[in-house]
Structure 1
Amino acid sequence: MIDMRDLRKDFVVRVKAGRLRREKRTVSAVDGVSLAIERGEMVGYIGPNGAGKSTTLKMLTGVLSPSSGDVRVCGLEPVPQRTKLALRIGVVFGQRSQLWWDLPLGESFRLLRHIYRVDPAAHRERLKRCRELLDLDEFMDTPVRQLSLGQRMRGELTAALLHGPEVLFLDEPTIGLDVVSKQAVRSFLGELGRGGDVTLVLTTHDLADIERLCRRLVVIDHGRVVHDGTIEELHARYGSRRRLVVDLDTPLPPGFTLPGATMTGTEADGHRVTFTLDTIAAGAAVAGLVGAAAVRDLSVVEPDIEDVVAKLYTAPR
């Protein structure tokens, strides 16, 4: 559905070169990105501020022309075939709106049906599904300007899907949302992704969105792809490990070791012990501990993806 080959976007900026002089400098916002995304994939596309995420999305949607390289979305060239492409993609930008500010939400949806020339029966069916999954009914007659941010975002998602797009681009869709609204949006996107009919590309700084929705993670930094794979592969690459936190009735015997794990901390006079699971599974680790001491309680702590991504951003290139 999406094919990028050595995609580049350069900008010419003027920088200070002395007290009165400025000189031109070329900055590569996207520097040779090559990716292929298949139909039905849910891909997280992340990176620090200024990494090139939004620039990439703008080239994929036809807003910006690439400086060089090839790009196809749904088999179309985004810029020269932008009108055709608009009928086959949906776009949600967290800080931009495609709804009419002074109209009730339902009227915006009706206008979009005419703009995209959607069959009335198909429009009703899609709107019905979105109303059910996103709980829109209570504010369908409310002007967009009076909606809360969470309500408006649910409206934006619906507006992007009413014409039946094959690809949905999401740029910070949960930015600024409260916990309840975030959960509603994530649940809806998860349901949409499980259907396999829509390819989703998600950019966000909220890595909880990525963990819950996307199996594939693409990390871009300084305009280049520095990781393309699963979250598990990212953890493995940077040595992230699960931790086992155990509460004991009595401390472990002196010199106790657990093969395949490293003891990384003790608290409460040895009654709470933390192990990093290097090569051993959690079940086997628990079995080894039960044989050595009386276990009162335990928990397995998953590695924090935010810490891993921070390491990736700061790693030397």
Structure 2
Amino acid sequence: MGDDGTREWAAGDGFIELDGLEKVFDVRRRAGRFRRERQRVRAVDGISFRVARGEMVGYIGPNGAGKSTTIKMLTGILTPSGGRVRIAGIDPARERTRLASRIGVVFGQRTMLWWDLPLIDSYRLAHRMYRVPDARFRANLDRCVELLDLGDLLKVPVRQLSLGQRMRGDIAAALLHDPDVLYLDEPTIGLDVISKTRVREFLRELNRDRGTTVLLTTHDLQDIEQLCGRVMVIDHGRLLYDGTTAGLHEAGGGERTLVVDLERETPPLELPGAPGARVVRVEGTRQYLAFPATQSAAPLVARVAAAYPLVDLSVREPDIESVIARMYGERAGA
């Protein structure tokens, strides 16, 4: 890990390897009443990263950042315009059939299940399509049914399933052939709290017990905080950040908050010896002090305790959504 919190890697150390990956689309746009112009849109612009076997990595960015385009190139659906991509040494665009048995894919807004068939029939089709040995298929199916709570749904037509039920069904379908890599594109979109919790618990257990490599794209940043030890931030096709969640707070210039409970109401705290600290809110005897995420809270706590009648205090980490929004805003204003 680099001094700035970003990830460092050497050539050849990745199970998933991208080197200068690019994808350019030709788009025709109206340029007048009867005329259209062709424009080149660079959806992915020279992205390079490595993901080691068994890592669980978040891949996040705003709509149109290039996340889904990257996933489609990793699966062989799209051919790169430039650069290099390898999954376990396999070129996805050239060896898509060979790669299919090594990967599982879940697109939150699409389904691989057969709409009018019972859920179990979609699983049987996957069994034959991937040529999974019978004993292995039964073991994997039993495990997924138990952990994702699908037992009562196997004979229900897919079209009658709720969104949360179908999402769990899709995740199971993607894992019946024991893929080495699982790509998840918005896997918890539209799910209720209970369904999200169940899916997250399952993914944690899958990664821990099977060592499955997971690349997760999502707009629900709680997915990232609860599942991923590493996060990559992409915007306008370029990688802005690659490192730990803690490092992300620093890279985004986030602030931590010291919540102070005093014995009695006082005017906003004055701490001239604590540079960067400021009172952002006062609620009776409780005051909120913001200070840079890169600074230790200990000196600030010591100054408050020495100068004011203190009852209790706590430190709140910066909200990851605000950190990401700040990073996008800084890029837009650059």
Structure 1 residues 14, 255: CA separation in 2 closer, same or farther (over 3 Å shift)? closer
Q: How many angstroms apart in 1 are the aligned matches of 2:26 and 2:228?
A: 34
Pick from 276, 296, 317: which aligns with 1:280? 296
Equivalent position amino acid for 1:312 in 2? M
Please show how residues 248-287 of structure 1 align to structure 2 within 5 Å. Answer: 248-251=262-265, 255-256=270-271, 259=274, 262-268=277-283, 271-278=285-292, 279-281=295-297, 285-286=300-301
Give the equivalent residue in structure 2 for 1:304: 319
Q: How many angstroms apart in 1 are the aligned matches of 2:275 and 2:206?
A: 40
Give the equivalent residue in structure 2 for 1:188: 202
Give the equivalent residue in structure 2 for 1:146: 160
CA apart distance, 1:196: 5.6
Q: Unmatched 5+ residue regions in structure 2?
A: 1-14
- 1:150-186 deviation digits (Å, cap 9, x = unpaired): 1111110100001000000000001111111111111
- 1:163 paired with 2:177, answer yes
Q: How many angstroms apart in 2 are the aligned matches of 1:170 and 1:305?
A: 20
Give the equivalent residue in structure 2 for 1:102: 116
Please show how residues 7-18 of structure 1 align to structure 2 within 5 Å. Answer: 7-18=21-32
**Secondary structure in 2 matching 1:315:** helix
**Secondary structure in 2 matching 1:242:** strand
> Over the residues paired in the alignment, what is the CA RMSD in angstroms?
2.1
The question of whether the paired residues in 1 share the 8 Å contact of 2:280 and 2:290 is answered with: no
Please show how residues 221-236 of structure 1 align to structure 2 within 5 Å. Answer: 221-236=235-250
Equivalent position amino acid for 1:232 in 2? A
TM-score normalised over the length of structure 1: 0.92
Pick from 163, 168, 178: which aligns with 2:192? 178
Q: How many angstroms apart in 2 are the aligned matches of 1:29 and 1:275?
A: 41
Structure 1 residues 256, 59: CA separation in 2 closer, same or farther (over 3 Å shift)? closer
CA apart distance, 1:298: 3.4
The question of whether the paired residues in 2 share the 8 Å contact of 1:10 and 1:67 is answered with: yes
Please show how residues 236-251 of structure 1 align to structure 2 within 5 Å. Answer: 236-251=250-265
**Secondary structure in 2 matching 1:159:** helix
TM-score normalised over the length of structure 2: 0.88
The question of whether the paired residues in 2 share the 8 Å contact of 1:252 and 1:293 is answered with: no
The question of whether the paired residues in 2 share the 8 Å contact of 1:39 and 1:196 is answered with: no
Equivalent position amino acid for 1:188 in 2? F
**Secondary structure in 1 matching 2:94:** coil
CA apart distance, 1:294: 4.1
**Secondary structure in 1 matching 2:45:** strand
CA apart distance, 1:263: 3.3
Give the equivalent residue in structure 2 for 1:26: 40
Pick from 193, 216, 220: which aligns with 2:234? 220
Moved more, 242-251 or 206-215: 242-251
CA apart distance, 1:110: 1.9
The question of whether the paired residues in 2 share the 8 Å contact of 1:260 and 1:280 is answered with: no
Structure 1 residues 312, 196: CA separation in 2 closer, same or farther (over 3 Å shift)? farther
The question of whether the paired residues in 1 share the 8 Å contact of 2:64 and 2:236 is answered with: yes
The question of whether the paired residues in 1 share the 8 Å contact of 2:19 and 2:48 is answered with: yes
The question of whether the paired residues in 2 share the 8 Å contact of 1:259 and 1:280 is answered with: no
CA apart distance, 1:240: 1.3
Q: How many angstroms apart in 2 are the aligned matches of 1:131 and 1:298?
A: 45
Pick from 2, 20, 24: which aligns with 1:6? 20
The question of whether the paired residues in 2 share the 8 Å contact of 1:261 and 1:275 is answered with: no
**Secondary structure in 2 matching 1:142:** coil
Equivalent position amino acid for 1:51 in 2? A
Please show how residues 41-56 of structure 1 align to structure 2 within 5 Å. Answer: 41-56=55-70
**Secondary structure in 1 matching 2:277:** strand
CA apart distance, 1:258: 6.7
Equivalent position amino acid for 2:230 in 1? R
CA apart distance, 1:290: 4.3
CA apart distance, 1:235: 0.7
CA apart distance, 1:15: 2.1
CA apart distance, 1:255: 4.6
- 1:122 paired with 2:136, answer yes
